[in-house]
Chain A
Amino acid sequence: DIVMTQSPDSLAVSLGERATVNCKSSQSVLYTSKNKNYLAWYQQKPGQPPKLLIYWASTRESGVPDRFSGSGSGTDFTLTISSLQAEDVAVYFCQQYYTTPLTFGGGTKVEIK
C-alpha cells in the first residue's frame, strides 16, 4: 500500500496569512507517461463529508476559491491557502489514486491563531 503522511498534524494561522499543509507519499504517484500526479486534496468541516478541492495535484475543482492551490510532484506535495479565511477552518486530507488500495493521509487540522 502507498502510505500517505501529512504534516503537521495541526497548525494555527492568523486570518489573512498563508497556511501550508504537506503530504508525502511512500512511493511516487507520478504517472510519468502521462506526466500526471495522481493526488487529490479534500477539505472536511465538522459534521460534513469531505469536499474535493484539488485533483491531479494542482487542478482546482470548479467553484473552489483561488486562494487554494496545490503543488508538488512525485512523492512530495503541498496544499497552500494563500490568505486564510474564517471559513477555511477544517481538516485537510490528501489522497493518492495512483494505485489501489486508494489511501488517504491522516489529516491536518487548520485553525485560526
Chain B
Amino acid sequence: QVQLQESGPGLVKASETLSLTCTVSGASISSYYLSWIRQPPGKGLEWIGYIYYTGSTNYNPSLKSRVTMSVDTSKNQFYLRLSAVTAADTAVYYCARSPVVPAANWFDPWGQGTLVTVSS
C-alpha cells in the first residue's frame, strides 16, 4: 500500500523560503507524476505543480516564479521550495501521486498534509 508523508517546518517567516519533503513508502516513485497541492484554511484546493521521477516539472503559472520542485529517487522523496512567502501562502500542503496511466492526472493517494503558517 503506497503511502505519502509530508514533512517540514510548520512556521515560516514572511519573505523567506518554504521547504517541504514528501516521503513515499510502499512503492518506488519511479514512473509516477508527483504533485504538490495546497489548501488555505477553510478554502479550496490549488495545484502547485508536479514533477516526474526523471526530474521534469510542470508548475502552475500563478506560482511558477517562486516554485522549485526536485526529486531524489534513491530516497524515494520529492521536494517543494516556495520562495518569498507571504501570509497568502499559509495553507495545508499536500503531496499526492498520479497513476501511471498516460494523461491520468488525478490524485491518489494523498499525504495527510502539513500546515504551514507564514508569520510576519
Contacts and interface: CB of A to CB of B under 8 A. Distances in A.
Nearest to B96: A49
A107 B44 CA distance: 7
Contact of A97 (B62, B106, B109): B106
Interface stretch (B20-28, B78-86, B110-118): B110-118
Nearest to B46: A104
Range of interface residues on chain A? 20 to 34
B47 A55 contact: no
- The main secondary structure of chain A at its interface with chain B is loop
Interface residues of B, number: 22
A93 B44 contact: yes
B106 A40 contact: yes
Contacts, number: 53
B61 A104 contact: no
Contact of A49 (B44, B58, B112): B112
A55 B101 CA distance: 12
Contacts of B119: none
B106 A101 contact: no
Interface of A: 31, 38, 40, 42, 48-52, 55, 61, 93, 95, 97, 100-107
